[in-house]
């Protein structure tokens, strides 16, 4: 995700972004995910598409995220990352592997991307921006944020 965020900065802010070899690994972030759910407008779930042995874990972690009440109605973008690697599976294949049953009415997209060469990222983020513009959840979060700001004056 960090490599991807640097690429996003590079694409959307026209800045350089850290090169991949300057990005250090995060340790133990998963335990604090839930603290952010309530305020999240969307879910971006990044999967290493070059590593099928990790798909089962990725699937159960994502299913748990999708079951969480605090994320109800949040648009879901699932990124099949590392498409620059020859063994990476496509977003369609990944969708078949994951076979998510918890999608319900949720707006979602599986997209093939590479945080290294930038493939697919603009398309995916443009899709997300559009989904957010139509999202009831975003409307609700904005109203809530507005009320909180008004209350603090
Ligand atoms: N080939 C390739 N490698 C990538 C890509 N994106 C990330 N990586 C590499 O995958 C490893 C993990 O990337 P991170 O961006 O740190 O991913 P993360 O999920 O934040 O990882 P942690 O912080 O370690 O949990 C790093 O060695 C990256 O250089 C990609 O699109 N292509």
Give the pLDDT score at 28: 66
Look up residue 13 and give its two tokens. 């802010």
Give the pLDDT score at 16: 78
Cα dihedral 43→127→48→37 (10° resolution): -10
Give the pLDDT score at 29: 64
User: Ligand 1 in contact with 135 (CB < 6 A)?
Assistant: no
Give the pLDDT score at 153: 62
Distance of alpha carbon 20 from alpha carbon 81, whole angstroms? 14
What's the pTM? 0.91
User: Nearest C-alpha to atom 13 of ligand 1 is from which residue?
Assistant: 3
For residue 76, CA distances in Å to 25, 27, 63, 107 come to 24, 24, 12, 6
User: Nearest C-alpha to atom 27 of ligand 1 is from which residue?
Assistant: 20
Distance of alpha carbon 54 from alpha carbon 49, whole angstroms? 9
Determine whether domain 2-151 maps to CATH 3.40.1280.10.
no
- How far does the centroid of ligand 1 lie from the alpha carbon of residue 1, in Å? 7
Q: Is the C-alpha dihedral spanning 83, 132, 62, 18 positive or negative?
A: positive
Asked if 84 contacts 117 with a C-beta cutoff of 8 angstroms, the reply is yes
Is 82 labelled as part of a ligand binding site? yes
User: Domain residue spans in the chain?
Assistant: 2-151
User: Ligand 1 in contact with 114 (CB < 6 A)?
Assistant: yes
Give the pLDDT score at 70: 95
Give the pLDDT score at 147: 87
Cβ neighbours of residue 35 closer than 8 Å, sequence gap 6 or more: none
| pLDDT tens digits in sequence order for the chain, 153 residues long | 889 999 998 999 888 778 888 887 776 667 788 889 999 999 999 999 999 999 999 999 999 999 999 999 999 999 999 999 999 999 999 999 999 998 989 999 999 999 999 999 999 999 999 999 999 999 999 999 888 888 866
- According to DSSP, the residues that pair with 81 across neighbouring strands are 48
Rounded to two decimals, the ipTM of the complex is 0.93
Give the pLDDT score at 42: 97
User: Ligand 1 in contact with 7 (CB < 6 A)?
Assistant: no
């Amino acid at each position: 995700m960090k490599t991807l965020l640097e690429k996003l900065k590079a694409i959307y802010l026209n800045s350089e972004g850290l090169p991949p070899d300057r990005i250090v690994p995060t340790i133990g972030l998963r335990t604090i995910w839930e603290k952010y759910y309530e305020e999240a407008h969307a879910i971006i779930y990044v999967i290493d598409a070059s590593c099928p042995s990790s798909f089962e874990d990725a699937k159960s972690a994502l299913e748990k995220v999708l079951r969480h009440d605090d994320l109800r109605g949040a648009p879901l973008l699932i990124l099949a990352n590392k498409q620059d690697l020859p063994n990476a599976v496509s977003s369609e294949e990944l969708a078949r592997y994951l076979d998510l049953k918890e999608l319900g009415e949720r707006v979602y997209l599986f997209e093939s991307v590479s945080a290294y060469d930038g493939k697919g990222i603009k398309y995916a983020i443009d899709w997300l921006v559009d989904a957010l513009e139509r999202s009831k959840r975003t409307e609700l979060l904005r109203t809530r944020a507005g009320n909180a700001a008004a209350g603090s004056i």
